[in-house]
Copies of this chain bind each other. A is one copy, B any other.
Amino acid sequence: MVNNLHKKYRPLFQIPENWIYFDGNSLGPLQKTIIKKVSNMISNEWGEQIIKGWNKSNWMTQPDNVGNLIAKLIGADKNSVTVGDTLAIKLFQAISGALQVSKKTGFVLSDESNFPSDLYIANSYLKEKNLSEVKLVNKTKIEDELQKGKVSILMLTQVDYRTGELYDLKKINNIAKKMGVITVWDFAHSIGALPLNVREDDVDFAVGCTYKYLCGGPGSPAFIYVSPKYIDKINPIIAGWLGHENPFNFDLNYKPARDIKRFRIGTPPVIQMSALEEALKIWDNVDINFIRKEAQLLTSLFIDKINDLKFDMKLISPRHSDQRGSQVAYVTKNAYEKMQALIDFGVIGDYREPNIMRFGFNPLYNSEEDIIKAVEILNKILKNNLWKNKKYSKRKLVT
């Protein structure tokens, strides 16, 4: 039994009684101390300092300070990460930055299983620049495409949002660099789940969100990492005042900050920031390598247990735990209804189009016991066709 983290850390989380929460890959649960932290920020900082909070409570420097906490989690240099906005905005900045520092003409390459929003964002930017759309290939063809020498920018999400399939970042990034390709990685499903080392792996840009495995809360701000060698070479595509070298000079002309601050845009969401800052405290003590190891154990156990049931559920996640992130997905008929039934019985996973049941695991609060119980519940639902109850077919706005 190597599954130990949850014993220490699960009590820090507020998870509804009788829930088995396998959806932290979509939204991480609340750490109880955040309630007090945010309440304090509101009453004692906003309430008691009002405008003075910008200096006195360091609201203005917080995005960069929190950025440095994130930097540690991705193996980045200090002052090479800043936090704010949403993943969409941060990716928009990264793509623009990548195009600016690229020395090659060529296309932007991605895979056809990438998170659609990443493609929307990149394509909306490319369209604006009258450049051709992102070229999409199958994941297995990425290396070949890179070798052909016609790629200028590689934009990939490290962990597939549906299957959990994991790119060998070190290998792919290395090929890209050898071919003179600028790399942009989306760590949405990586950060807090996988050991990352952007410096060692020579990643050029990385972006990610903080509300999945980092448990920053709904709409917690995103982050952007820019390789220090490029930071001062990029003209920010969205030149907001807080990216200015000296915003409070109110110069008529934009002069970007010389450091990572140039990737800041507008006034930071201070209340969200304080929740995120508190959520990140857990990383003072937790070793990501243990998390990874235990997550591999949990996903493997889940796959084995589901296998034992011999139901008509096709695993679409890689069999080998080294090749997947912290989530497991199955294709099955009536996946939506089955997932709604599962949720109704307290096992919270989610559904993804067109027929996918998705389960995410976080060893900080999930245990082997959770898995055993969850699979028993699934067994009951499938065996007795409980999912056929009409109430489970009603589509919700957010799946």
Contact = CB atoms under 8 A, between A and B. Distances in A.
Interface of A: 14-16, 19, 21, 23, 26-27, 29-30, 32, 34-35, 38-39, 42-43, 46-55, 59-61, 85-89, 92, 112, 115-117, 119-121, 123-125, 127-129, 136, 209, 211, 217-222, 235-241, 244, 247-252, 254, 265-273, 275, 343, 348, 350, 352-353, 396-399
Contact of A86 (B92, B116, B265): B265
B120 A254 contact: yes
Nearest to A127: B235
Given A35-B43, A55-B397, A218-B270, A249 B353 contact: yes
A120 B240 contact: yes
A267 B219 contact: yes
Contacts of A124: 235-239, 254
B265 A88 contact: yes
Contact of A128 (B38, B55, B129): B129
Contacts of A252: 112, 116, 119, 136
Contact of A89 (B27, B52, B265): B265
Given A42-B217, A89-B238, A240-B86, A51 B117 contact: no
B55 A86 contact: no
Chain multiplicity (copies) = 2
A191 to B, nearest CB: 15
A239 B397 contact: no
Given A86-B267, A88-B241, A353-B249, A218 B397 contact: no
A252 B35 CA distance: 38
Nearest to A241: B117
A86 B88 contact: no
Contacts of A129: 128
A15 B50 CA distance: 8
Which of A219, A244, A352 gathers the greatest number of chain B CB atoms within 10 Å? A219
Nearest to A34: B42
18 contacts: A23-B51, A30-B42, A38-B39, A42-B217, A42-B275, A46-B218, A52-B348, A60-B397, A85-B86, A89-B266, A92-B238, A123-B239, A124-B238, A127-B235, A128-B237, A221-B269, A248-B397, A272-B272
A16 B86 contact: no
B219 A269 contact: yes
